Structure 1
Amino acid sequence: MARDAARRLGVDAREHYRTTVSAGEPAPGAIAGLAETGSAADAPLLRPLLTHPQARVRGQAVRALRLLDAVVAREVLALLRDPSPAVVREVTAALGPLPGALPPGLPWQLLGDARMELRRAGYRLLRGHGVDVQLRAGLVLTLDPDSRLAQRGKADVTRLARDGVRTTWRRNPPPELPVTAAQHGELAALAARAAAALGEDTSLMLTSWLARTRPGA
């Protein structure tokens, strides 16, 4: 769309948006245009906008860096706690493909934060990890005071528990829980705390799965 609009105006799209973004007070639309027409080489024009006083500009800058495949984790990490939920969402999306660049305990810290958008961010950053991590995070989220987050956690735990007790697998082996005895005990304790929220069916499936995967069982 940005290229088409620039073409109709008879200007070079990339140069137009580069000039607009570097002018000092770029409109979010100009940042989005550069994300569409530019490349990673344009990242130096976007990075100063990460500290812009307007949340919309900060969010668009993060989004543009992600679309240009130019995200440097250490430059956007601080924005995970940005006052704007929209900025937090963009940073979470940008850091999702870079799990190795995050401080190991950061997603768990976010999952326990008082701000709902930070708990949601922490949960999203734990997606794609091992089954044990997904299960622990899902159980924690099931107990979240926000009903939407709690429902999401319940749905994910239900899916994992259902997969864990399935007896027929055509293509893939059933999920295992590669945990120590202590970690298994923590999961069992979390499952017990979340039993009422999970409901009887899911709780029974989860209990059965945990019993089967207990170290030494």
Structure 2
Amino acid sequence: MPSTFVRFFAVAGLTLFVSTAAQASLIVNGGFDAGLSGWTVDPASTTGVTWDSGTAHVGRPGPDGVAIFEQSFDIVAGTNSLFVGFDYQWQINRPSTPDFFLAELLYESTSGTEIETLVFEDSSSVAFNTTFDFSGIVQLAGLNAGPNNGTIRFTLTEDNSGAGSRIQLDNVAVNAVPLPATLLLVIVGLAGMTVRRKRFAAGK
């Protein structure tokens, strides 16, 4: 009974460690509770980004143009991969000529700026007013350490006058994925704790 009890808490401790690491988002105000604070609307944007009830609206139905919305952040040296997640929704009307939504993760490497495409889709075949949950792991090859060496960027290109769409964003998160070596140390430490508990329970 004691060994089973200890194994349970060893697993629970490892789960808690992974869960805690996943919650440490590199993004500021990813839930847009503080308006658009921490985010930047690129000067090249012509249709803009607005805030509404804890979400960001990228683009503006009606005029042609582009909306570029982004945030830069620091990726710690030695990070091998990032977890990226966000919720998005196509809203308003499906235009006769497709609009295009692009989500990207950019990071600085020893070879220059690397660009990873997360989502690229047009309005012709997606479901409108339906929330999609994107999540994925991005591998970082040759990360170059330094301030603002990572950026997440959302772009909506609208090609319709008097009609069109917008993208609603929420729950944007970018998290450093724990290194396998770090997880191994945690597992070894928990295993050692299990052995010590067994010996203590046996009176040794």
TM-score range, shorter chain: under 0.3
More helix by share: 1
Instruction: Kindly indicate whether structure 1 or structure 2 has the higher relative contact order, using CA contacts under 8 Å at least 6 residues apart.
Output: 2
More strand by share: 2
Query: What TM-score do you get using the length of structure 2 for normalisation?
Result: 0.28
